[in-house]
A and B are shown apart, each in its own frame.
Chain A
Amino acid sequence: MSRENKLFGDKAFELLKDLERSSQTIPAFDDDGVRQVLEEIKAIFEENVAQASSYNSSGDRSLWPLLNYRHAALQRNKRCLLAYLYERSKRIKALRWEFGPIIPGDIKQALCEPEVQFFNNYSKSLAAYMCIAGCSQGQGIDLTNNLRPPKSLYIEVRCMEDYGKFELDDGELIHLKKNSQHYLPRAQVESLVRQGILQHIA
């Protein structure tokens, strides 16, 4: 049994701490870390299986605490790992609310393949739910709108990039040019504000 100068579960705890500390929307998926934890789990498990069989045959009570200890370490590793994934899945869900059904390229790089899939699945379910929410025959409610209590009907916005033409509900056409300022109905431009195309100014 080679033992490094490290305790069981260190790596798993590290994973969680890193995620907790990161200030990014979502840090890159720690492939290495996850694999190391999984290997540790496997190693502990195999050691335990081996000793459990010798315990069974010899009935040596002195092995009992060791078995228990390893089992606890294993549980802890597993728990940390799943907590890591759970926290990430929460952040991925938040992405859907923030950016809509398509992940921006730079964030997508931080996700691993199953995570992208999770995002897509989640997005699909959510969209399906919103289609029929609260209304059995109609168009449903877009829950990603109206995120904040409405304070006023119109808001003043500054355009951050050249967006082109934007048609309001009443058919009025507006040219959204970079650095131009407009006074627009909040409900209709909220998604543009969230995408960063428009900026809400006081």
Chain B
Amino acid sequence: MSDDEITADLQAENDVDAAAALANDDEEDDDDVEQITAQKVLEILETAWINEMCAPEILPNQTDMLELMVSQVSHMEEQMRDLDKNDFRAVVHSMELERVRYIMASYLRCRLQKIETFTQHILNQEDAREPDDKRLSPEETKFAKEFAGHVDEYFHKVATQYMPNQQRGELDQRIVVPNLMSHVFLKANVAVPAVIVGVDDEEVDMAPGSQHIIPYQLVADLLQNNQAQLI
């Protein structure tokens, strides 16, 4: 009797483990080249999401990670279909999927919002960047351009076309620029020596895991190199 119970328990435990491991294994099968686990992808995505939410300017896009995650999610959904609806694992997993989906949607929404606010500024910056260095994905670029067009069209139809000629254009006066010197909360991932803070070249050494409040622009490159993350 007691033996049976133990085996049953073990069985259940194994199942849970298997289900949990499912994500990782499948990811590796799908992607022999990159050898990146779903866990890792999610971590990267979460960091990118938090950074994006906290940073005043738009950050490089994570389309690759996002695509991996999307395919992972739909894969998981398929697996879940075989599970009984009232199974405990099904509930846990679908909750987790919901969370992942929320993160992805929220991340993209956040980027769209920045694009809508700083449209012209971002487009100008993108034009100045090298092709490999672009921060927007092609879809986002398309959206940004269309959006800029729509706003201009609207302004033109309602107001600017009735204004005297010399007063019309001046598009560059309307550019909204993010305040890069706004303060952000930052956590160092690794030891970063001699970060310049303040105007008079004051330097600060950041220990791994230490937290700081600092103007964004001074640490923007640390974010790029993944030496620090926003919190």
> Is the pair B158, A122 in contact by a Cβ cutoff of 8 Å?
no
The total of chain A residues at the interface (CB under 8 A) is: 44
B155, closest chain A residue (CB): A85
> Is the pair A114, B70 in contact by a Cβ cutoff of 8 Å?
no
Decide yes or no: A34 and B158 within 8 Å by CB, A42-B164, A143-B105 being known contacts. Answer: yes
Q: How many A-B residue pairs have CB under 8 A?
A: 114
List chain A residues, Cβ under 8 A from B70.
134-135, 138, 141
Complex Cα distance, B105 from A38, in Å, reads: 41
A150 interfacial by beta-carbon distance below 8 Å: yes
Contact with A along B124-163 (1 / 0, CB 8 A): 0000000000000001101100110111011101110011
A68 interfacial by beta-carbon distance below 8 Å: no
A73 to chain B, nearest CB (A): 12
> Is the pair A141, B104 in contact by a Cβ cutoff of 8 Å?
yes
* Segment at the interface with B among A18-26, A74-82, A100-108, A192-200: A74-82
List chain A residues, Cβ under 8 A from B153.
114, 117-118, 121
A132 interfacial by beta-carbon distance below 8 Å: yes
B66 interfacial by beta-carbon distance below 8 Å: yes
> Is the pair A153, B158 in contact by a Cβ cutoff of 8 Å?
no
Q: Which of A41, A141, A187 has the most CB of B within 10 A?
A: A141
Secondary structure call for the A interface? helix
List chain B residues, Cβ under 8 A from A186.
98
A198 to chain B, nearest CB (A): 18
Secondary structure call for the B interface? helix
List chain A residues, Cβ under 8 A from B74.
138
A81, closest chain B residue (CB): B159
CB < 8 Å neighbour of A93 from B99, B116, B164: B116
Q: Which residues of B contact A (CB under 8 A)?
A: 63, 66-67, 69-71, 74, 85, 91, 94-95, 98-99, 101-102, 104-106, 108-109, 112, 116, 139-140, 142-143, 146-147, 149-151, 153-155, 157-159, 162-164, 167, 174
Q: Which residues of A contact B (CB under 8 A)?
A: 34, 38, 41-42, 45-46, 74, 78, 81-82, 85, 89, 93, 112, 114-115, 117-118, 121-122, 125-126, 128-129, 132-136, 138, 141-143, 145-150, 152-153, 170, 186-187
Contacts A82-B155, A118-B153, A134-B66 known; list 19 others, CB within 8 Å: A41-B164, A81-B159, A85-B154, A115-B158, A117-B153, A117-B154, A121-B149, A121-B150, A128-B142, A129-B143, A138-B71, A138-B74, A141-B105, A141-B108, A143-B112, A145-B101, A146-B102, A150-B99, A153-B94
CB pairs A–B below 8 angstroms (10 shown):
A82-B159, A85-B155, A85-B159, A115-B158, A118-B150, A118-B154, A133-B108, A143-B108, A145-B101, A149-B99
